[in-house]
């Protein structure tokens, strides 16, 4: 979508959005390519042994058609929510494409979610069908009685825990499917994002969200696609970074994307994968980049052929920026956004846009500013809130069933991000910090409300508060301040038990890595926890 203009100011002036009146993500990222080159590799799936199995656009079309027919036969219709609980594998792409072509709404869920996190999202979204594997089916089986809307599950590992055999369902379904005639504003995707208080919120996006992401992918990847480009990211395809910054744009552009699931990020294995698969483009969050820094002489040890390296989700930092140039011979192009309105600021070294310590300048097509509380623009170097002006193709439609939260997200036509920043004389935005209580850990944005809700379910916990404590590797770690119930005494064993309790019920990245037992929590007169004071203690 970006014109091939290598001068920033002219690129901004001449950029125009190309949003057609009718648009369907599934048709765009799959059927369009299957019509012209069905044997072209779309996904290069790598197993634990390093074996590579390509999935072509023609195969994705047939399998997504069959899955769409299988879902329709079980009562799924346009507008219904269908969850995808899978890691990086071709079946994940198939499920998304099928859901979009049906006119249903995809709800991606991370494989690392525990049962509590899954139950809330599946129930809140009113999910009607689920595509998962054996591990996911086992988790959901224990809560299925609490999910009255869930009518069917497909398991990619075969029939298990109340789920049908995915392969059998596809084999008996028709290979032809007529996609729904959708507009760019019709809802197609809902990703849950955590806020400062209360439960996670479903950010509902229209089909246009993929088109809205394209400039923000092309810019930090220096005018992607280029001949020979091949993509990989360690980010889970259930998150916006993996799905909207990587998988769907690559399928749109016809760029092969490598699918490889690591149970735990391994820096040596990541470098080896990029070398062995001739990866040319990668999105790696800052925490993973900091882990990669532990590998000595990566260019000497691995036959890397990287063309672009983009990073976002948290602040990169000048040291990691310098490491990229020294050890990889690349400028790490930083970008910025959030699930509700992603990839709106960025860097592009190819045209001289980039500055250590800054998250970039406005990506073509987006009106981004730092504003005051009344919606007026801040002066140069004045601290304010980073905001994006509507209308914008990448902006969410609304929070699912939360009209008040949707209204509160805006000051006039400015969508607020909750992030404090400043703009310098050159138009670069510098991220200063959050003006709310969202915790940023290892690239994940974590709302304390969900953690606190889980903590107080532990029989020993009376009340609890979760905050982010600065950490040199993860940006922040979750720290919990806990007031115990009568009859329970603080101990290392109890702290470990509480940590395990949260980790198994929510997710590995959400459990408190530090626990502090306190007599009381600092509260406002209205009973709200003063997290600022707790952060100062931490």
* CATH number of the CATH domain containing 520: 3.30.300.30
Specify the pLDDT at position 15.
98
- Judge whether 315 lies within some domain: no
Distance CA 60, CA 40 (A): 11
Specify the pLDDT at position 507.
86
**Res. 314: pLDDT tops 80:** no
Q: How far is CA 58 from CA 30, 47, 55, in A?
A: 8, 21, 8
- Is 372 buried (19+), middle (13-18) or exposed (0-12) by CB count in 10 A? middle
What is the sign, positive or negative, of the torsion defined by CA atoms of 65, 68, 73, 77?
Answer: negative
Specify the pLDDT at position 435.
65
Q: What crossing angle do the helices spanning 115-125 and 134-141 adopt, rounded to 10°?
A: 80
Q: How far is CA 74 from CA 70, 163, 369, in A?
A: 7, 13, 47
Tokens of 436: 């709310």
State the average pLDDT over residues 304-314.
92
- Tell me how many domains the chain contains: 2
Tokens of 375: 């919606």
Distance CA 392, CA 397 (A): 10
State the average pLDDT over residues 313-334.
89
- Judge whether 283 lies within some domain: no
b/e per residue 442-457 (b: at least 16 CB within 10 A): bbbbbbbbbbbbbbee
pLDDT (tens digit, 9 = 90+) per residue, 27-44? 999 999 999 999 999 999
**Res. 509: pLDDT tops 90:** no
State the average pLDDT over residues 135-140.
97
Specify the pLDDT at position 94.
98
pLDDT (tens digit, 9 = 90+) per residue, 94-109? 999 999 999 999 999 9
Distance CA 158, CA 422 (A): 52
Distance CA 508, CA 264 (A): 11
**Res. 177: pLDDT tops 70:** yes
Q: How far is CA 409 from CA 119, 184, 243, 387, 423, in A?
A: 26, 22, 23, 10, 21
Q: Report residue 526's pLDDT band, with 50, 70 and 90 as the boundaries.
A: very low
Q: Identify the weakest region by mean pLDDT among 68-72, 207-211, 458-462.
A: 458-462
Q: Which of 252, 259, 251 is nearest to 235 (CA)?
A: 259
pLDDT (tens digit, 9 = 90+) per residue, 374-405? 999 999 999 899 999 999 999 999 999 999 99
Q: 3-class SS at 27?
A: helix
pLDDT (tens digit, 9 = 90+) per residue, 424-437? 999 999 887 666 67
Q: Report residue 196's pLDDT band, with 50, 70 and 90 as the boundaries.
A: very low
| CATH code for position 122 | 3.40.50.12780
Contacts of 360 (CB under 8 A, 6+ apart): 220, 333, 334, 335, 336, 345, 346, 347, 353, 354, 428, 429
Where is the domain boundary, 183, 206, 229? 206
H or E segment and range at residue 176: none
Where is the domain boundary, 173, 206, 239? 206
Q: Give the range of the structural domain holding residue 444, as residue numbers without chain letter.
A: 439-537
Specify the pLDDT at position 293.
86
Q: What is the dihedral of CA 293, 299, 304, 308, to 10 degrees?
A: 60
H or E segment and range at residue 502: helix 492-505
pLDDT (tens digit, 9 = 90+) per residue, 140-161? 999 999 999 999 999 999 999 9
Specify the pLDDT at position 198.
53
Distance CA 332, CA 355 (A): 10
Distance CA 387, CA 364 (A): 15
**Other beta carbons less than 10 A from residue 398's beta carbon:** 18
Distance CA 89, CA 133 (A): 11
Length of the chain equals 538
- Judge whether 367 lies within some domain: no
> Considering the chain, what percentage of its residues have pLDDT values greater than 90?
80
Identify the DSSP state of 523: B
H or E segment and range at residue 93: helix 90-102
Q: Which of 284, 282, 288, 322 is nearest to 304 (CA)?
A: 282
∠ CA 380-382-387, nearest 5°, is 90
Rg, C-alpha atoms of the chain: 23
**Res. 520: pLDDT tops 80:** yes
C-beta separation of 452 from 482 below 8 A: no
Contacts of 509 (CB under 8 A, 6+ apart): 112, 441, 442, 444, 446
- Judge whether 245 lies within some domain: no
The pTM for the full model equals: 0.87
Distance CA 485, CA 482 (A): 10
Q: Report residue 48's pLDDT band, with 50, 70 and 90 as the boundaries.
A: confident
Where is the domain boundary, 156, 191, 206? 206
Mean pLDDT of the residues in the chain: 93
Specify the pLDDT at position 528.
60
The DSSP secondary structure of 415-465, one letter per residue, reads EEEEEEEEE-TTS-EEEEEESS--EEETTEEE-HHHHHHHHTTSTTEEEEE
C-beta separation of 194 from 338 below 8 A: no
Q: Report residue 367's pLDDT band, with 50, 70 and 90 as the boundaries.
A: very high
Tokens of 504: 């198994």
b/e per residue 151-176 (b: at least 16 CB within 10 A): ebbbbbeebbbebbebbebbeebeee
C-beta separation of 496 from 427 below 8 A: no
Distance CA 240, CA 243 (A): 5
The DSSP secondary structure of 248-315, one letter per residue, reads HHHHHHT--EEE---SS--HHHHHHHHHHTT--EEE--HHHHHHHTTSS-HHHHS----SEEEE-SS-
């Amino acid at each position: 979508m970006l014109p091939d203009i290598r001068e920033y100011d002219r690129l901004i002036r001449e950029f125009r959005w190309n949003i057609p009146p009718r648009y369907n993500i599934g048709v765009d990222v799959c059927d369009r390519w299957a019509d012209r080159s069905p044997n072209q590799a779309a996904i290069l799936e790598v197993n634990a042994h390093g074996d590579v199995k390509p999935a072509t656009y023609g195969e994705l079309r047939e399998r997504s058609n069959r899955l769409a027919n299988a879902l329709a036969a079980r009562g799924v219709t346009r507008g219904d929510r269908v969850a995808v609980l899978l890691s990086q594998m071709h079946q994940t792409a198939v499920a998304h494409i099928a859901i979009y072509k049906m006119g249903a709404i995809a709800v991606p869920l991370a494989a690392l979610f525990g049962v509590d996190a899954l139950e809330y999202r599946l129930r809140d979204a009113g999910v009607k069908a689920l595509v998962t594997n054996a591990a996911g089916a086992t988790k959901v089986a224990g809560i299925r009685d609490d999910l009255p809307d869930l009518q069917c599950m497909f398991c990619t590992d075969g029939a298990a825990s109340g789920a049908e055999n995915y392969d059998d369902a596809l084999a008996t379904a028709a290979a032809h499917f007529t996609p729904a005639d959708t507009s760019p504003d019709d809802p197609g995707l809902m990703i849950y994002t955590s806020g400062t208080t209360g439960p996670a919120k479903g950010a509902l996006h229209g089909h246009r969200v993929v088109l809205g992401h394209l400039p923000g992918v092309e810019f930090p990847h220096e005018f992607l696609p280029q001949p020979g480009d091949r993509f990989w990211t360690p980010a889970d395809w259930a998150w916006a970074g993996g799905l909207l910054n990587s998988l769907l744009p690559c399928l749109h552009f016809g760029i092969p994307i490598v699918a490889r699931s690591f149970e735990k990020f391994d820096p040596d294995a990541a470098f080896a994968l990029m070398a062995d698969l001739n990866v040319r483009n990668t999105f790696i969050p800052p925490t993973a980049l900091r882990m990669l820094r532990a590998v000595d002489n990566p260019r000497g040890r691995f036959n890397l052929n990287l063309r672009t390296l983009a990073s976002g989700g948290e602040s990169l930092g000048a040291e990691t920026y310098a490491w990229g140039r020294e050890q990889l011979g690349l400028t790490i192009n930083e970008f910025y956004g959030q699930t509700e309105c992603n990839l709106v600021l960025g860097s592009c070294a190819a045209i001289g846009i980039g500055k250590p310590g800054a998250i970039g300048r406005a990506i073509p097509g987006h009106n981004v500013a730092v504003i005051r509380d009344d919606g007026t623009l801040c002066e140069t170097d004045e601290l304010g809130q980073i905001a994006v002006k509507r209308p914008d193709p990448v902006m969410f439609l609304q929070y699912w069933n939360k009209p008040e939260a949707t209204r509160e997200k805006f000051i006039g036509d400015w969508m607020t991000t909750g992030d404090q920043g400043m703009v310098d004389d050159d138009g670069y935005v510098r991220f200063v910090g959050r003006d709310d209580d969202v915790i940023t850990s290892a690239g994940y944005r974590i709302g304390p409300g969900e953690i606190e809700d889980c903590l107080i379910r532990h029989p020993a916990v009376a009340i609890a508060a979760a905050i982010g404590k600065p950490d040199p590797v993860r940006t922040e770690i979750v720290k919990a301040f806990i007031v115990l119930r009568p009859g329970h005494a603080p101990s290392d064993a109890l702290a470990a038990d509480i940590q395990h309790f949260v980790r198994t019920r929510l997710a590995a990245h959400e459990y408190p890595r530090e626990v502090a037992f306190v007599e009381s929590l600092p509260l406002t007169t209205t009973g709200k926890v003063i997290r600022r004071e707790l952060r100062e203690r931490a």
